[in-house]
């Protein structure tokens, strides 16, 4: 396996090393897990936003029905 270098400052390297916490045998394994976790969170966030958008549409539809019902009641 070839080596590569990811430019970052010492504070970033130390922070990542603390997160790594000896659980991973290599930086490669740790960084791949970190990327997998981030990608999973990103997918979940998109699903959550879609769900929120659908819920908001439902609320808007119900609010519209309530407003129309109130208008009808006021006319009678």
Over residues 1-13, the pLDDT tens digits come to 577 788 888 999 8
Q: Is residue 14 part of a domain?
A: no
Could you read off the pLDDT of 15-50 as tens digits, one per residue?
Answer: 999 999 888 888 899 999 988 888 766 555 666 777
Residue 23 maps to a domain: no
**Alpha-carbon distances, residue 10 vs 7, 14, 15, 16 (angstroms):** 10, 6, 8, 10
- Full domain range(s) for residue 52: 48-76
Q: CA–CA distance from 35 to each of 13, 19, 30, 31, 42 (Å)?
A: 16, 13, 9, 6, 10
Give domain status of residue 73, yes or no: yes
Number of domains in the chain: 1
Residues 6+ apart with CB under 8 A from 23: 30
Does a structural domain hold residue 63? yes
In this structure, is residue 29 part of a structural domain?
no
Asked if the structure places residue 59 within a domain, the reply is: yes
């Amino acid at each position: 396996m070839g080596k590569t270098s990811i430019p970052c400052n010492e504070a970033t390297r130390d922070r990542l090393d603390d997160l790594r916490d000896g659980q991973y045998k290599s930086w490669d394994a740790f960084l791949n897990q970190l990327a997998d976790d981030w990608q999973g969170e990103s997918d979940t966030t998109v699903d959550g936003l879609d769900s929120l958008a659908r819920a908001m549409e439902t609320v808007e539809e119900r609010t519209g029905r309530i407003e129309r019902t109130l208008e009808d009641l006021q006319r009678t």
